[in-house]
Amino acid sequence: MTGAVQNLQACLTVHLILPDARQVGLEFVVDTGFEGALALPLETIAQLKLPFELELDSVLADGNAVLTPVHSATILWQNKRIDVAILGLGERPLLGTALLASYRLTVDFLESGQVTVLPITA
| Share of residues in the chain with pLDDT > 70 (%) | 98
Please state the three-class secondary structure of the chain as a single string: CEEEEECCEEEEEEEEECCCCCEEEEEEEECCCCCCCEEECHHHHHHHCCCEEEEEEEECCCCCEEEEEEEEEEEEECCEEEEEEEEECCCCCEECCCCCCCEEEEECCCCCCEEEEEECCC
**What confidence tens digit (pLDDT) does each residue in 57-68 have?**
777 767 778 789
**What confidence tens digit (pLDDT) does each residue in 18-32 have?**
888 899 999 999 999
* pLDDT for 19: 83
How many CB atoms sit inside 10 A of residue 91's CB? 10
CATH of domain 2-119: 2.40.70.10
Sequence spans of domains, the chain: 2-119
pTM of the complete model: 0.89
